[in-house]
Amino acid sequence: MGYVFLLSKDNLKLAKAEAESLVREGCSSDEDILLVKKEEITLNLLAKRLAYTKLIFHELFQSGYKDLEKNMEKFDWQKIYDANFVIRKTGCNSEKLKDEGEYAKFVWRKVKNPKVDLKYARTRITLLCGKKVYACLLLAETDKSYLSRKAHLRPSLHPTSLSPKLAKAMINLIGAVKGDVIADPFCGSGGILIEAGLMLIRTIGIDISKKMIEMCEKNLEHYKVKNFKLMEADATKTRLKVDYAVTDLPYGRGSRVTEDLESLYLNFLKNMKSWKIKKAVVCFPDFVDYKKIIKQSSFKIENEFEEYLHKSLKKKVVVVK
């Protein structure tokens, strides 16, 4: 018994790592399902922060496909029933199950005054289908308000700004919490700072362009982000004292780049070593040899992910320590 997260299929590896970074222990996976064996989780926090998790459930029981109906019959549905119910099926192997109505019969027979409500049920039972079937009670849908913070919806638009979904995930990968300090050394118009600030994490933004700093400040104020500091400075030379760094490196398309990219990235990483950070998440364009650059800087790769932006560009999201 424990909790179950339904992960986004957009990027399963990233979704799993993001959730594990916040949950911290007791995790295992089955296809697009993350199992969390803990007595209690910080449900509200996780539902608000996770970007690549879709739904969070309480696990009722696990079953093989052949034994599902027998286990449905054995389970005491009354103990989790509240006013009305609905049963849904989802997951990579949901086609192996019968129609949802066939499983609703087991609940109907076991509860007092059974009522079905397909839209607004208070008891939302889901059969999650991986290698096993996980009968679960829905606890929360994750917050999707980041969709309203896409770059084209901000007061100050910049075309190379990172998607807020990926920005949230990158912050979550380092496991930062309220009170920690995160630096974005190439902050641009503020996409990462906005998401970190809304998590109540203190932020420092650096950019070599005065115009970008002004745009960033305007965006942060629009979303009522507090506890931020902005600096017009060179990220390859500036000295900072912060817990973490999270950044999307400029790659020359609509960005101000002062030297060739590989030299810029290496000089930045070498300078970041002096900050003595706990961990960093750095987004590289896929056309540079990021592993070579990281090795030369004496950082070590803890994890890495690939994120498609469009046909001509992928990004490498790399966790270094």
What is the per-residue pLDDT across 124-133, written as a single tens digit (0 to 9) for each? Answer: 999 999 999 9
Note the CATH number of domain 3-141: 3.30.2130.30
Give the residue carrying structure tokens 């109540």: 200
pLDDT, residue 259, reads 60
Q: Are the C-beta atoms of 179 and 202 separated by less than 8 Å? A: yes
Q: How far is CA 117 from CA 121, 122, 205, 306, in A?
A: 5, 8, 48, 41
pLDDT, residue 311, reads 67
pLDDT, residue 159, reads 74
What whole-number distance in Å separates Cα of residue 47 and Cα of residue 107?
27
Please enumerate in sequence order all residues whose Cβ is within 8 A of that of 254, keeping only pairs 6 or more positions apart, or say none: 158, 159, 160
Please enumerate in sequence order all residues whose Cβ is within 8 A of that of 286, keeping only pairs 6 or more positions apart, or say none: 306, 313, 314, 315, 316
Q: What is the pTM of this model?
A: 0.93
Taking only the tens place, the pLDDT of each residue in 216-253 is: 999 999 999 999 999 999 999 999 999 999 999 998 65
pLDDT, residue 157, reads 81
Q: Which band of pLDDT confidence, cut at 50, 70 and 90, is reported for residue 254? A: very low
Mean pLDDT over the full length of the chain: 94
Q: Are the C-beta atoms of 206 and 185 separated by less than 8 Å? A: yes
23: DSSP letter: H
CA angle 298, 213, 249 (to 5 degrees): 30
Q: Which band of pLDDT confidence, cut at 50, 70 and 90, is reported for residue 267? A: very high
Task: Break the chain into its structural domains and give their ranges.
Answer: 3-141, 146-320
Q: Which band of pLDDT confidence, cut at 50, 70 and 90, is reported for residue 160? A: confident
In CATH, 146-320 is 3.40.50.150: yes
Give the pair of three-digit tokens for residue 101. 């109505």
Q: How far apart are the first and last CA of the chain?
A: 34
- Which whole number is the average pLDDT over 61-86? 98
What whole-number distance in Å separates Cα of residue 126 and Cα of residue 87?
6
- Which whole number is the average pLDDT over 248-273? 82
116: DSSP letter: B
Taking only the tens place, the pLDDT of each residue in 35-72 is: 999 989 999 999 999 999 999 999 999 999 999 999 99
pLDDT, residue 253, reads 53
Q: Are the C-beta atoms of 223 and 217 separated by less than 8 Å? A: no
- Which whole number is the average pLDDT over 4-25? 96
pLDDT, residue 256, reads 53
Q: Single out the residue of 151, 77, 154 nearest to residue 115, CA to CA.
A: 77
251: DSSP letter: -
Q: Are the C-beta atoms of 285 and 293 separated by less than 8 Å? A: no
